[in-house]
Amino acid sequence: MLDWFDPFRVILAFVFVLGVVVFVHELGHFLAAKLTGVYAPRFSIGFGKSLWRRRWGETEYILAAIPLGGYVRMASKEDETMAALEGGGEAPATAPETVGGSGARVVEEETRPSDWDPNALAPFGPVPVPEHRLFESKSLLARLFIMVAGVTMNIVLGFLVLSALAAYYGRPIIPTTVIGAVTDADWARPYVSRFQRGDTVVAIDDRAIRTWGDILEGFARAEGDSVVVRTSRGVILLPLEGDSAVARRDLVTMLTPQLPAVIDRVEAGSPADRAGIRAGDSLVAVGGQPVDGWSAAVEQIRRSPGRALPVEVMRAGERVTVTVIPDSAHQRDDNGREVLTGRIGVGNRVENRREPVSVGAAIASGWEATWDMAGSVVDVLHRLVTRRLSTDQLGGPIAIARASGEAAAGGFAQLLQLTAFLSINVAIFNLLPIPILDGGQILINLLQAVKGSPFSLRSREYMMRFGLAMIALIFALAMFNDLRRVAGDLARWIR
């Protein structure tokens, strides 16, 4: 079976992650609409046919069959158009007469739904929606508040989850300051030669280093126009400003810790399993080359896709040599390029201790992690737009499901961390200036305020069509990438 695919786990994890993120986003819009007095007759999680619906007060709450989003319907002068965009009209198609500006229609007694209320606002009753409860009747600030509330709630969700994880689990400690590997990304080439595998990091900007976490924290908090790294071999100056600058968020990916080459887990049916490698084995040599840590062993394996590879391990005090043929797998290198690499299906043993932190430190950690994630998403979008990164990086529902299943396999904490990351992704993506997204709607409302009058119906229709086309294109690219990756996984599994 594919190593990432457990249908029950994947489905439950996918529904949990996406459901929480979508619910929080739409809840932001809904609460903002309520606070500003806009009539919101429908709150839906999912699209398409409703699986469950219940009306409380003046709002109908729905769980729909397609869990790829959600929407909050708000009374609008363009009610019919907005209904079509957000899941269908709210009035029977056979009704002959429009009531007020809500898009609701007079409904004959024989065609009324079972929960028809003669005192309710349309579409649940015959009462027209008052003008002051339409979205367009509100001030520009109120409309912007409603539109930005969804992404704000997603950012808040990410912050709360990351802060809670930091408070509950504490600060991770990898008890080493020895470098195991240095990135080969293009941006790091001027600096890679200054670091070597086996170097010990002693201080960063005159702050003493005790653990690998201190190194990451030192890089994350680097200020000024440079950061000074002192190692066991000398002093290295990394510029943070100017033409040869290193981006602050890239610093934490430059170095990898030296970890013992001890195997902690072996995937069932993997090349390592078939060769007889066991959990607890210590890798001594790979491909005839001695290895002094996990990173060195992984590098040797990655260079040997599909080739017979002698692997020497230490087991119960004895040296044992086995032959492994690594699977060939397409993976992204540090430059984002897809390359063919070898993998044998093993994981290493990491001594990853944690120390308790105060509530204030947990909140600070959650805040930093939130903005680090947001910055990484913005950076990826910028590189996609400037074509420094291939659109092959895009992932759709299958990629989210896959990541959810893998996170669930790693425990509830990893699933929550993925939820926070996806929530922040959704927030940033929704701020893009594409009509029908929050960012596009914010831009349209600002342009109308500058113009002094609303755009014509035809102009708004063209904007919406453009927005739908853009979203359809992005979705099609993401789905194509998803299916291509699944096809590759299936081909390797069949072999």
Query: How would residue 425 be classed by pLDDT, with cut points 50, 70 and 90?
Result: very high
Highest mean pLDDT: which range of 304-318, 342-356, 374-388: 304-318
Beta bridge partners of 201: 231
Maximum distance among all Cα pairs of the chain, rounded to whole angstroms: 87
Query: How would residue 341 be classed by pLDDT, with cut points 50, 70 and 90?
Result: confident
Q: What is the dihedral of CA 384, 390, 394, 398, to 10 degrees?
A: 180
Share of the chain above pLDDT 70, in %: 86
Phi, psi of 63, deg, nearest 5: -110, 120
pLDDT of residue 78: 65
- State the Cα–Cα distance between residues 210 and 173, nearest whole angstrom: 9
- State the Cα–Cα distance between residues 218 and 229, nearest whole angstrom: 9
Give the chain's count of helices (H) and strands (E): 13, 20
Return the H-helix or E-strand segment holding 67: strand 59-73
Read off the pLDDT of each residue in 53-79 and give the average, rounded to a whole number: 85
Structure tokens at 423: 């929530």
Query: How would residue 107 be classed by pLDDT, with cut points 50, 70 and 90?
Result: low
Reply yes or no on whether the pLDDT at 174 is more than 80: yes
Number of C-beta neighbours around residue 449 at 10 A: 14
Reply yes or no on whether the pLDDT at 382 is more than 70: yes
Answer yes or no: are the C-beta atoms of 83 and 44 closer than 8 Å: no
Return the H-helix or E-strand segment holding 228: strand 226-231
Structure tokens at 196: 């070597």
Q: What is the dihedral of CA 63, 69, 73, 76, to 10 degrees?
A: -160
Reply yes or no on whether the pLDDT at 93 is more than 60: no
Reply yes or no on whether the pLDDT at 139 is more than 50: yes
Query: How would residue 13 be classed by pLDDT, with cut points 50, 70 and 90?
Result: confident
Q: What is the mean pLDDT of the chain?
A: 82
Answer yes or no: are the C-beta atoms of 394 and 479 closer than 8 Å: no
pLDDT of residue 202: 94
Answer yes or no: are the C-beta atoms of 492 and 413 closer than 8 Å: no
pLDDT of residue 86: 47
Domains of the chain in start order, with CATH, are 7-139+457-494 (no CATH), 172-257 (2.30.42.10), 263-348 (2.30.42.10)
- pLDDT tens per residue, range 449-469: 999 888 888 888 888 889 889
- State the Cα–Cα distance between residues 299 and 424, nearest whole angstrom: 32
Q: CA-based Rg of the chain, rounded to a whole angstrom?
A: 27
Reply yes or no on whether the pLDDT at 4 is more than 60: no
457-494 and 438-451 helices, crossing angle to 10°: 160
Query: At CB < 8 A and 24+ separation, what contacts does 236-239 make?
Result: 236/191, 236/194, 236/195, 238/191
pLDDT of residue 267: 81
Structure tokens at 179: 């470098």
- State the Cα–Cα distance between residues 319 and 288, nearest whole angstrom: 14
pLDDT of residue 200: 94
- pLDDT tens per residue, range 182-233: 888 777 778 777 888 889 999 998 889 998 888 888 887 777 788 899 999 9
Reply yes or no on whether the pLDDT at 168 is more than 80: yes
- State the Cα–Cα distance between residues 385 and 397, nearest whole angstrom: 21
Share of the chain above pLDDT 90, in %: 28
Read off the pLDDT of each residue in 165-194 and give the average, rounded to a whole number: 84
